[in-house]
Structure 1
Amino acid sequence: MSDREGHTGAPGDDDLSLPKATVSKMIAALLPNDIVCAKETRDLVIECCVEFIHLISSEANEICEQESKKTIAPEHIISALKRLGFDSFTSEVEDVLKDHKQQQKDREKKVSKFEQSGLTEEELLAEQEKLFAASRAKFQSTQQ
């Protein structure tokens, strides 16, 4: 049974989409300056992307269930890409995953530095003000 002519899927699939403005910007960035993309083409690209995401996530979910896991992990996505014949995508996905993990570590370091200081936010702000005042005084003394 189809929701619309030529479209099959689970109920509510019509609600799934990607931001049109963002997709339009990405398409424009990839096309030569003298080529324009019609709205119908952009909408078709969005439908294809949503279908691709659905395909990969369904396969990853199946892999997850086979492993008796309750959460889809990045490794499940990579395995799904391989199973479905998208091996050429895996190295880029692994690179993005590596970057993401590094960004998470960097964020955790920043939080832990604050926590390690043992000072409240107000105490840190007061310390910062003292440093600014000392810096201003030093700058003004060199200007005279």
Structure 2
Amino acid sequence: MSDNDEDLCVPKSAMYKLIKELLPQVRLSGDAKDLIVTSCNEFIHLLATEANLVCENQSKRLILPDHVLLALDNLGFGEYKNDCVDVMKQMQEEVDKRRRIKNKLDKPGIPQEELLRQQNLLFAEARKQQQMMDNKEEWQRMQQEAQQALQRQASLNQEMLNPVLKTGITTQDDDDNYD
């Protein structure tokens, strides 16, 4: 095949993937896969040619879905029309959904400057709340450190008093005996 012919074909990798999804329990040789791909491409070309003839017979310049459906009938594949219509409806719903989403993003109804102003206000409020949380955490940390310092001081005071309490309170006379 020439490069031009390959441009007009369904990509082999996409077809191989489709074959694998549709027939997971079946193993096909490379030649069998290539034959299926070639058959699919031939069918697409045949259908496109017939749809083009239908389009020309109706003096139209653009091939529409109705032309493709008539081409299916003309080629003897009319039993697939309902499946094609169902797939076409699903595709149209997806396209419409994407357009709605894109339009919502492109045209939210609020000018860009207003959106930017609102965003900056939200950021400022978030910074303010974060600062308040940081201050609260700092205050709690300082309170905890002060409490720990008081506990250490009380413990030191207790340690200093324990020897005195064990030996009793000494008087001036007791101190003289140590000289």
Give the TM-score of the pair, scaled to structure 1: 0.71
The 5 A counterparts of 1:51-62 are 51-62=42-53
Which one of the candidate residues 47, 56, 65 is aligned to 1:74? 65
Q: Given residue 103 of structure 2, which amino acid in structure 1 is its aligned partner?
A: S
Q: Given residue 68 of structure 1, which amino acid in structure 2 is its aligned partner?
A: S
The alpha-carbon deviation at position 108 of structure 1 amounts to 2.5
Residue 15 to residue 68, structure 1, CA distance change in 2 (3 Å): same
CA contact (8 A) 1:60 1:77 kept: yes
Is 1:107 equivalent to 2:98 in the alignment?
A: yes
Aligned twin of 1:29: 21
Give the TM-score of the pair, scaled to structure 2: 0.59
Task: Supply the distance in 2 between the matched residues of 1:24 and 1:131 (Cα, whole angstroms).
Answer: 50
Tell which has more relative contact order, 1 or 2 (C-alpha 8 A, sep 6+).
1
Q: Given residue 80 of structure 2, which amino acid in structure 1 is its aligned partner?
A: F
Which one of the candidate residues 12, 25, 36 is aligned to 1:20? 12
Aligned twin of 1:84: 75
Aligned twin of 2:174: none
SS of 2:59's equivalent in the other structure is coil
The alpha-carbon deviation at position 56 of structure 1 amounts to 0.5
Residue 28 to residue 105, structure 1, CA distance change in 2 (3 Å): closer
Residue 15 to residue 117, structure 1, CA distance change in 2 (3 Å): closer
Structure 2 gaps, min length 5: 138-179
Residue 132 to residue 43, structure 1, CA distance change in 2 (3 Å): farther
What is the total number of aligned residue pairs between the two structures?
A: 129
The alpha-carbon deviation at position 134 of structure 1 amounts to 5.6
Task: Supply the distance in 1 between the matched residues of 2:86 and 2:116 (Cα, whole angstroms).
Answer: 38
Aligned twin of 1:40: 31
Q: Given residue 84 of structure 1, which amino acid in structure 2 is its aligned partner?
A: L
Residue 118 to residue 88, structure 1, CA distance change in 2 (3 Å): same
Which one of the candidate residues 64, 78, 83 is aligned to 2:55? 64
Structure 1 gaps, min length 5: 4-11
Q: Which has the higher helix share?
A: 2
The alpha-carbon deviation at position 112 of structure 1 amounts to 3.0
Aligned twin of 1:8: none
SS of 1:117's equivalent in the other structure is coil
